[in-house]
Amino acid sequence: MTDTRHDFTNTAMPPVVGAGWGWMLGYGVLSALLGLAAFAWPFAATMAATLVIGAFFIAAGAISIAAGIFGRGHDGRGYAIGFGLVSLIIGCIMAFEPATGALSLTLLVTVWLAVRGAMEIVWGSRMRRGKGMMIALGVINLILAAFVLATLPFSALTLPGYILGISFLFGGIASITSALAHKKGEPAFSV
């Protein structure tokens, strides 16, 4: 009698060099175009971002409330319901009053810039090397925070769109360069 069993563990084909580079390139081009569109129409990009974030808050709130109501036997039921209600309210404000949501997002970014700037100045003053660069970065972030505050409400209606544009544009450029390198044989997204 002959043994007809096969060992299939070593039959995997090695990855094809450059496989999938076209998809990476397509994603990169689309992402870069979306980034440029966000720069061209920052108000529309801000409203779109606010609506999407609002939808996420609504979904998270609904699931948290359901987990609190139907999740028996855990101590955090009240917390889950309370957190869900807060998320649901914030999500509804962002979805049904996107200008208010955009203002809230912009104020959060402003607070983040101000706190970061202050921390960079304090940290920079304690550094031995790179002190000037860190302090300069902190000052720039404080100036940016002051600029955003001084230009409210206009900045609230465009800043999130510009941030989205920067993210999509540079993410797209990174994907395009990785795709072209991958086409030539480099590993995808190699460092």
Is the per-residue pLDDT at 95 higher than 70?
yes
Does residue 172 contact residue 28 with C-beta atoms inside 8 Å?
yes
Give residue 85's pLDDT: 96
Mean pLDDT in the chain? 86
Give residue 6's pLDDT: 54
How far CA 30 is from CA of 18, 41, 69, 115, 182, in Å, comes to 20, 16, 42, 34, 18
- ∠ CA 150-152-155, nearest 5°, is 105
Structure tokens belonging to residue 38? 């966000």
Is the per-residue pLDDT at 4 higher than 60?
no
Position of tokens 């043994």? 3
How far apart (Å, rounded) are the C-alpha atoms in residues 82 and 179?
A: 45
Is the per-residue pLDDT at 174 higher than 90?
no
In degrees and rounded to multiples of 5, residue 71 shows phi and psi of: -85, 95
Is the per-residue pLDDT at 37 higher than 90?
yes
How far apart (Å, rounded) are the C-alpha atoms in residues 62 and 56?
A: 10
Structure tokens belonging to residue 25? 């390139």
Give residue 185's pLDDT: 79
pLDDT band at 133 (very low <50, low <70, confident <90, very high): confident
Give residue 167's pLDDT: 86
Average pLDDT over residues 18-27: 84
- ∠ CA 88-92-98, nearest 5°, is 140
The stretches of 97-130 forming alpha helices (DSSP H) are 98-126
Is the per-residue pLDDT at 161 higher than 80?
yes
- ∠ CA 32-37-41, nearest 5°, is 155
Task: Report the SS3 class of residue 19.
Answer: coil
* R_g of the chain computed on alpha carbons: 24
Is the per-residue pLDDT at 16 higher than 80?
no
**pTM score > 0.85 for this model?**
no
Does residue 68 contact residue 79 with C-beta atoms inside 8 Å?
yes
